[in-house]
Structure 1
Amino acid sequence: MGKPDQKKTDDAVSLHTNPGESSRAAYIDDDVLDIPQVDIDDLPPNYSESESLLPPLDVETATAAGGLLLSRKPFVENATTFEDPDTGAQYWMAKSLEDPVNLEKHIQYLAAIPPRPYIRLVGTHTETTRDSKGKMEKNTITDFDVSVELTPYLYSDAQYQRSWSCLRTVENSETARRGTILKKRAPGSNQSIELGGTPQPTLQEWCHRYSASHAGLKVFTLQRRICGFDAEGVKTKLRELVYSTNYRGHLNVQLVVKDSLIECYNESWINKWRLTKWIRMLFMVTLLFIFTWPYLWLRTKRWEVAISDWHFSRILDNGTKEYVSVSEDQWFNMWGRAIHKAVLRKRQGLLDQNDLARAQEPEPAFDSGNVAVNGAVNLFRAGISAMDEVNRQLGWGGDC
């Protein structure tokens, strides 16, 4: 997960930048011990803000980098769509998507939309209590649950959608569903093209194969991925940060990627039923899924061959790592103090740039013009600071 293969540029479609394009916002990780400080005012905008910055055009406009023509309107109209509120996965079903030309354009359009990666920290502890009957009960208490979105840092310039993203198809040597039920490699994948091996199919070819299939139930999948991000290194730093507060509970740090899955189904009453929420719940409650799940699994042909790679970093020819916006260390330096404060305040929710800015500023003085009110507020602040200090000294969040 990191170095884009320069030999695959013929099979991959660059969505926003050309290979080798330099960016004014790129950083080279030459010395991780000397990380430049990042100005709050120069931070990339939030994802929702970057969407609002796009020009409200109804016609197709090209990105400033000369990449894919991205329409501001959805390509498929009057399609039946479903979305998973937890994962952000999208499911499309339209007769027009069974045409290979329309399917290819639809996949290209959706591939130009980034995944939504989050760093999430959850701290819990177990609390043992006794109920009214004297029986011991164990309850899990959430101490904090904070998240930070990484989507803005997949852009070198979010306003003009400059990024290092590309749309590619699976390699012949990769295991994937290629119009099959089970994952497999392409026939002859152990042979090179020079020795008579089969060349890697393009997106256009895969769309034609999908459309030509006579399978009653079929689905074409697009996967959005984040590449070149050192998730394990960031997790380690965040664990050390939380434990530095003397937290004694159970800590879970994870990289959650939403909006990563797109599935386009052929028009069928079975597919419509399988994607309808109340029908799915009915089959779960009545345990009918025990019989329907094997049937759907055996009947559905899947094409999991399109991948949209969004590079957080890439390896140059000289072996150095280049970042599209900021490095992992720079990101940690920016967000470390805000996350530290949110953990001690036992926050739950998504941190934004307001939290980031407040963490860098001293606590503002409060003056209401009333001596009694000022004294009460200052006393309250002093109490919070004292509690934080006691927690750091004696520990907090342990099982009890």
Structure 2
Amino acid sequence: MGKPNKPDNSFSDTLSLHSDVGQSSAAIPYVDDDAPEINIDDLPPSYTDVAESSEAAPMLAHRGAMVDAVLPSDIDAMVITDKYWGTQSWVAKSVEDPETLEAYVHRLAEIPPRPYMSVVGTHTETSKDSKGKEAKNTVTDFDVTVDMTPYLYSDAQYRQSHRYLRTVDNGEKVRRGTTLAKRQKGWNQSIEVGADKPSLQEWCHRFGASSAGLKCFTLRRRMVGFDEEAVKERLEKMVRDTNYRGHLRVQLITKDGQIDFYNDAKINRWRLTSWIRWLFFLTLTFIFTWPYLFFRTKRWEVAVVDWPFSYINDRGAKCYVSVSEDQWYNMWGYAICRAVMDKRQKCLDQSDLRRAHEGDPAFNTGNAGVDGALGLFRAGMNAMGEVNRQLGWGGDC
């Protein structure tokens, strides 16, 4: 992920969006790398609970905190949301007005990205048909994810976070009203990066003033300050310790991480219309249209909102917004391990976490025969899990 730096307020284009609604001891950032066990009763609420909380709503109404649905003001605007990744694409006349575009960016910056820690295991099964021809199929053994969004808040109930909106530094290679990524014109590596870089307001004015027929302004949301490699290494070791022999993929995936603002043009509306896109794919005409759209569209990828998992304070100490990576692993490790051994395919929630730490409730139906059958079933499942640990499981076959 990105480097966990504290927001630099020395530049006018870096805008701190730290929320100060309400007072809570949770608002004090954690500044300790030790990883004691955490009481699950003190866990932050899930993202769904945060978004739907009615208790916090009256306190947030006048602050315009997290906005669940920000839409363009145009009646005929077009908004397309990717069903899996959550990426939004807008086509609206209003985005060409600099002040309106800047207001959109500020409001959308209040909505966090959705990072997930994903653990997926697969194996390949080889079978033969009646003619002896081999066919290989990939089988998913488990697909377990954990939502990291709650840990981007120091106090999730009151939407307190350390997010900050900034523009890209002069030395970053991005598209700046161009087709290809490049650094700021006149950038010199010997000069301090960040000095005299354009502000968000200036970039919005440049976008609005551009005479390009097809243009796109992009806002990126991202989690920073998270030691992804250390967590991946521990999760991989944990799964391998169960004697799993299949193909393991542990990664951090981010949804709701990008919003693209397109100017209102027929071609931009066509490029986002599903049936037109499918028509071009099926007729293979995308071979000609894709290069045309790529080189014709001018893009501004200059606005970024960073949501720190951790950051460096004025004393040079690493501060955690909510919990540290070690605390997160101590909290979720056993729940993930149980889900892997049970071959589950789901996003774990607080109920899974509680069951992992407190154990499954005993079944007692009052019927001796049914209770005995349930007990026998559970014993059989435990025995299968233990055999898998000893002899290995999930290998290609």
Range into which the TM-score falls when normalised by the shorter chain: over 0.9
- Structural RMSD (CA): 2.3
In the alignment, residue 331 of structure 1 is paired with which amino acid? W
- Deviation string for 1:41-78 (max 9, x for gaps)? 11111111101126556996227xxxxx6667635233
Describe the shift of the 1:157–1:295 C-alpha distance in structure 2 as closer, same or farther (beyond 3 A): same
SS of 1:200 mapped into structure 2: coil
Cα distance between partner residues in 1 of 2:119 and 2:68: 35
SS of 1:61 mapped into structure 2: coil
Of 375, 379, 391 in structure 2, the residue corresponding to residue 378 of structure 1 is 375
Of 10, 13, 16 in structure 2, the residue corresponding to residue 11 of structure 1 is 13
Of 296, 300, 303 in structure 2, the residue corresponding to residue 299 of structure 1 is 296
Once the two structures are superposed, the pairs formed by residues 1-400 of structure 1 within 5 Å of their partners are 1-4=3-6, 6=8, 8=10, 10-17=12-19, 24=27, 26-31=29-34, 35-53=35-53, 55-56=56-57, 61-62=62-63, 74=70, 76-77=72-73, 78=75, 79-190=77-188, 199-400=196-397
Q: Verify the 8 A CA contact 2:9 2:15 in the aligned structure 1.
A: no
- Deviation string for 1:285-331 (max 9, x for gaps)? 11101110111111111111100000000122433211000000000
Q: Verify the 8 A CA contact 2:27 2:155 in the aligned structure 1.
A: no
Q: Verify the 8 A CA contact 2:116 2:145 in the aligned structure 1.
A: yes
In the alignment, residue 376 of structure 2 is paired with which amino acid? L
Describe the shift of the 1:71–1:88 C-alpha distance in structure 2 as closer, same or farther (beyond 3 A): closer
Describe the shift of the 1:177–1:22 C-alpha distance in structure 2 as closer, same or farther (beyond 3 A): farther
Deviates more, 1:175-184 or 1:144-153: 175-184
Describe the shift of the 1:289–1:256 C-alpha distance in structure 2 as closer, same or farther (beyond 3 A): same
Cα distance between partner residues in 2 of 1:175 and 1:325: 32
Cα distance between partner residues in 1 of 2:251 and 2:174: 26
Q: Which runs of 5+ in 1 are unaligned?
A: 64-68
SS of 1:28 mapped into structure 2: coil
Cα distance between partner residues in 2 of 1:191 and 1:347: 50
Shift of 1:337: 0.7
Cα distance between partner residues in 2 of 1:302 and 1:59: 34
Shift of 1:113: 0.5
User: Structure 1 length as normaliser, TM-score?
Assistant: 0.92
Q: Which runs of 5+ in 2 are unaligned?
A: none
SS of 1:383 mapped into structure 2: helix
Alignment-derived partner of residue 66 in structure 1: none
Shift of 1:11: 2.2
Shift of 1:185: 1.1
Shift of 1:277: 1.2
Cα distance between partner residues in 1 of 2:363 and 2:31: 43
Q: Verify the 8 A CA contact 2:365 2:371 in the aligned structure 1.
A: yes
Q: Verify the 8 A CA contact 1:94 1:266 in the aligned structure 2.
A: yes
In the alignment, residue 225 of structure 2 is paired with which amino acid? G
Describe the shift of the 1:5–1:107 C-alpha distance in structure 2 as closer, same or farther (beyond 3 A): closer
Describe the shift of the 1:8–1:397 C-alpha distance in structure 2 as closer, same or farther (beyond 3 A): farther
SS of 2:278 mapped into structure 1: helix
Describe the shift of the 1:198–1:336 C-alpha distance in structure 2 as closer, same or farther (beyond 3 A): closer
Cα distance between partner residues in 1 of 2:308 and 2:161: 8
- Deviation string for 1:8-32 (max 9, x for gaps)? 55321111248xx99545322343x
Cα distance between partner residues in 2 of 1:205 and 1:43: 41
Shift of 1:184: 1.1
In the alignment, residue 76 of structure 1 is paired with which amino acid? P
Cα distance between partner residues in 2 of 1:9 and 1:318: 20
Deviates more, 1:51-60 or 1:107-116: 51-60
SS of 1:209 mapped into structure 2: helix
Query: How many corresponding residue pairs?
Result: 388
Describe the shift of the 1:23–1:279 C-alpha distance in structure 2 as closer, same or farther (beyond 3 A): same
Q: Verify the 8 A CA contact 1:61 1:70 in the aligned structure 2.
A: no
Q: Verify the 8 A CA contact 1:128 1:138 in the aligned structure 2.
A: yes
User: Structure 2 length as normaliser, TM-score?
Assistant: 0.92
